[in-house]
Amino acid sequence: MYIEITDDFSLSKIAESGQCFRAKLLDDGVWRFITGSNILHIRPLAHNQYEIDCTTPQWRAVWLPYFDLDRDYSIIRSRIGKTDSYMKNAADTGAGLRILRQDPWEMLITFIISQQKTIPSIKSCVEKIAEMYGDTVETPYGCVHLFPSAGQMSHITDEELSQCKLGYRAPYIRDAIGKVASGQLDLDTLYSYDDIQLFNALKSVHGVGDKVANCIALFAYGRTSLVPVDTWIRKVIDGVYGGQNPFTKYGNDAGIMQQYIFYYAQHNKKSLSEKPAGRLF
DNA sequence: TATCAGGGCCTAG
DNA sequence: CTAGGCCCTGAT
């Protein structure tokens, strides 16, 4: 079926944004996204039109919230003040990015893995886990491995875990599996928690620190006021903004600004030597 | 071939 | 509170 999306929406930028690691460009300009047991094939056409291979109820129930399409990102971008020129450049460059609402279990495991790894390395780990333990689904574009549930992963042996190239993170993953599979940590109930409660609950898992907890809260639970500070964001805060956090003043949009800047800094390293708004110095 | 840094976190002191 | 170690991969 066909749909129209008029707000900011770039599949390539979303796929390269460092928040999802399994999105893939297939043949014929078709993108594939996976979340939980849902698989979407989507092809951009002209005039904001997209061809998709799911039903209207599936689109509304799963993919519309997944892509955060009820939020108007172009308005959010337009509210960036002229005094914050670096932020404005980042948002102009990153226009089309969206904060995804992804599966919490997959994000918990994925962002534990992410520490001290490059994005290509994270992708290969996640893909390996899906191949080894996830359900297999046949699609017109080939077979897809879903990300395994905590229950499915609870049977993994230590030897199998080490095959996934997790390194020192293996015991962290083991702890996450144990807590979630046993019900000690119920990721669904966390939706009803406020930001602080959610943050603390996530940090109860071994290997989940401030940065990873913020990533899960932002990229799974849609907590857009939270800002994960990784090495790139750190470079921008220190090098461009003189150590002064530029995100807090954006309130509920702070996490979205973080995503524009992460994308901008990663794809345009020269930007790290840009001058910010003159008023800041 | 060698070296470095990577969407950090834990532990020891 | 801070420094050091960590398991491995992709990039240079």
* pLDDT tens figures, A163-178: 999 999 999 999 999 9
Say yes or no: A110 and A201 in one domain: yes
Flag whether A241 is in a domain.
yes
Q: How far apart are CA A50 and CA A7, in angstroms?
A: 13
Residues 131-160 of chain A in contact with strand B via CB under 7 angstroms: none
A170: nearest nucleotide, CA–C1' criterion: C7
| CATH classification at residue A76 | 3.30.310.260
pLDDT, residue A275, reads 63
A209 & A235 share domain: no
Domain membership of residue A108 (yes or no) is yes
Write down the pLDDT at residue A272: 80
Is there contact between A159 and strand C, defined as CB under 7 Å from any strand atom?
A: no
Give strand letter and number of the nucleotide nearest A123 (CA to C1'). C9
Query: Is A148 a domain residue?
Result: yes
pLDDT at site A277: 53
**Does residue A53 approach strand B to less than 7 Å at its CB?**
no
pTM: 0.96
Number of independent structural domains in chain A: 3
Which bases of chain C are contacted by protein, using any atom under 7 A from a CB? 6-11
pLDDT for the residue A278: 44
In a domain, residue A251? The reply is yes
Q: Does residue A243 lie within any of the structural domains?
A: yes
pLDDT for A86 = 96
- Say whether the CB atom of A163 is under 7 angstroms from strand C: no
A86-136: per-residue pLDDT in tens?
Answer: 999 999 999 999 999 999 999 999 999 999 999 999 999 999 999 999 999
Which pLDDT tens digit goes with each residue over A148-158?
A: 999 999 999 88
Tell me: do A119 and A214 sit in the same domain.
yes
pLDDT > 60? residue A279: no
* One domain for residues A152 and A245: no
Do A174 and A116 have their domain in common?
Answer: yes
* Complete DSSP assignment for A123-162: HHHHHHHHHHHSPEEEETTEEEEPPPPHHHHTT--HHHHH
Percent of chain A with pLDDT over 90: 90
pLDDT of residue A280: 42
Mean of the per-residue pLDDT values of chain A: 95
Q: Strand B: which of residues 227-256 in chain A lie with Cβ below 7 A?
A: 228-233
Q: Considering A51, A75, A94, which residue would you say is the last residue of a domain? A: A94
Q: Is the C-beta of residue A264 closer than 7 Å to nucleic acid chain B?
A: no
pLDDT digits (tens, 9 = 90+) for A221-277: 999 999 999 999 999 999 999 999 999 999 999 999 999 999 999 887 777 877 665
The mean pLDDT of A22-38, rounded to a whole number, is: 96
Q: Are residues A108 and A199 in the same domain?
A: yes
A110 with A172, same domain: the answer is: yes
Residue A22 lies in a domain: yes
Residue A281 forms part of a structural domain: no
Kindly report the CATH number assigned to the domain that includes residue A188. Answer: 1.10.340.30
**End position of a domain, from candidates A175, A199, A219:** A219
Q: Which domain holds residue A263?
A: 231-274
Examine the pLDDT at A281 and tell me if it is beyond 80: no
In angstroms, the CA of A7 and the C1' of C3 are apart by 47
A99 domain-assigned: no
Cβ-Cβ contacts under 8 Å for A33 (sequence gap 6 or more): A20, A22, A23, A39, A40, A42, A63, A66
